[in-house]
Structure 1
């Protein structure tokens, strides 16, 4: 139902409106196809590529950070190999506030050689320690008696562990986080534990690990094992709202359709650190500027082509058709004038020429129709005029007057009634068509009137199928033929004759046959019946022309005749 309503709505639109709607639909389809391609092909490929790239980037950043830790670990081994450091740790007893310039110098040299180091603590097994620091650092020494804290360090058997703020044992006065590398120190000779080395690194080591991979749209941050942010790029707020889980790697998407971002985080191996990254999904990162410019050029070229096509259709098709339609509108007012509009020699020009030729033909047909109508009316008028000529009426009245003197009054009354009935049916209240039964009654009245005048010179017979009597036929097509049979057939033969009317039907036609036993006709006379020079056959040509015009066909009669014997006219009227 809706489709039918839509088709009806489209059919009522003007041509220029249909063209505008068509271009609008093409543009909408163009945009839909572009969005579909972007959503389900380009965007998906970009998203998959970006997720893989982000994972590789985060793994690379984690590897860089572990590389820095390994470098610092190797340099710390050099520190532990210093004789002054070993002697300090192995001494059986040392004063709590003992100042050892050699050990302190070794610690400061290490701080100078290693970037990011903020403080170094060398702790003996008895709890005494010596430190070097370039910032205010608090050391909560009670952790030295915490077995769990000590156990994590000893389990590495000389290897280092990484903790944030040394697991809570250290903190900066500024409150900033620190990354602590802690390891147990063993005697080279006895392989006994002789102390703990703690190297505290500033958060700059974290920020520096991802500086090489930063670009437009990429930002990173580090978190500790509790999900607390340690460092971040200050430009992005979304990264601070990441919900870090215990998984080693995870990726999620945030933002809207055209502002979509991929958030990833990765657990740096052998550390409590997790690095998180956020990257904006951007077409320019995956497609070169040259390709983007080419795509934009194709889109622009498409719109220009559509615009040029629309201008061409409007200028060379819709506008000429509209002008042609306005020129043709005069037909509505009855003016069948040819269109004089100047058009190009194309289909529209052919349409104008065909329209003008059609008007010429219509005008010719109208003239022909008017002329046929005039001839029909003229023929009807001639028949009517012939029947109301004074001599016909006078002869009939003279016959009735003679009857009034010689015959009974009933016969006179019957003759007058027949005359009145004849003219009443003859006129038929101006109708152009009457039933077959009414036409036969006119013939009977006419024959009855003629018998009053000529006596028993002829006999009229009728063989009419009852089922055909109510068929409509043109008025006054039989009486003139009967009159011809009487005047040009029966009377000229000089003996009593027969006039017989027969009506029957076949599959296609109603046949009305007028037969007379008069003098008949030769073939030449039959052929001359419809010629212009023939004036003897009263009304025959007018009857045939009227019938042909009425039914719109030529083959409507046959004539059979034999000289001195009979004439038979068969009218073939289409059912």
Structure 2
């Protein structure tokens, strides 16, 4: 593993050294060209202007010497240029310098005093144009050299990544070989111990039905057998604790339900009393019948599950009672197919949801509202829907309640007590994948979806 890494490092150093030399040469070319481009055109235009107006002479300005130095510089740039485009620009600059020299010679051989207008025209149309074109060509040379520098950088990155990849592959390959060899060596020595370790991992993950291999070593065989016995005993203890917790949870939920019913009973009896005082006998009979049916289903011979048909009768009795009390603010409808009614459900599932819809949905609005109970199903599940057209809830409140139902950590005791109770009971009896789903929009209404599996145990009973 060390040798491939060293080879990779040495290769990277060689690549970096070569790149550094080429890059420095390219930087030098660009630097020289930039300096030439910055000074030559302006200096030449200024010198020839001074000569044409008669302020200076050729001997003092020495334009030919500057052209000579420029040609030497261009030869050096051509020699060091890497790309064909850069070399083409240096050749073009050389020809332009020759044409510039010819134009300057025409001015020198003229009568500087008497041919001012003609020389001024030569200056503008020849000298200035040539120097401007030279400036453009030098800029193009710089552009292509910088592009070459970028290509060098990209090439360097590819070579570095290629070298690193090969080095890593070599290291990984040697590591794999080393690991295989060490595994083969250690397997013959530590196999029984590793098998026992695997057994402990299985137990830690909740799988208590583990069995170790037969060991040739007596001590390890004793250890394996004792561990198997311990795992079986722990499994039995955990199952006992689960059963005890479920029983405790059921008793807690029963106590909660017993706390709810007396409050409802008190309010209903109070309403019956005032109806009797007001001599509304028909309503008294209707309410007493509904109340009797309501508590008959609540008792249900001590059974925890009843048919959906019985559950709908129970909630309809509740709605009849509440409609007699709040007829001016609520209506209701129940639309569930007979085939769905044959399945069972945990008793008193729908009534708390209907109560929640009435007290927290319809009573908080001014106009009359509607509570609807409907259903859909698929191959394995039933979806009972309780919806109202009340005041609804804010999106963040809906998200919070759904989160609390999922995590079974209830905070909103004011609006969510009944929902929490129902959700916990469904999960307790059917599993974590079942329960309630809440949907709501402000000023439109709220929908609670009850998700339960298709079962018909209660119907058979």
Larger proportion of strand: 1
Choose 1 or 2 for highest CA Rg.
Answer: 1
Higher relative contact order at CA 8 Å, sep ≥6: structure 1 or structure 2? 2
What's the TM-score bracket when you normalise by the shorter of the two chains? Answer: 0.3 to 0.5
Normalization by structure 2: what TM-score? Answer: 0.47
Normalization by structure 1: what TM-score? Answer: 0.38
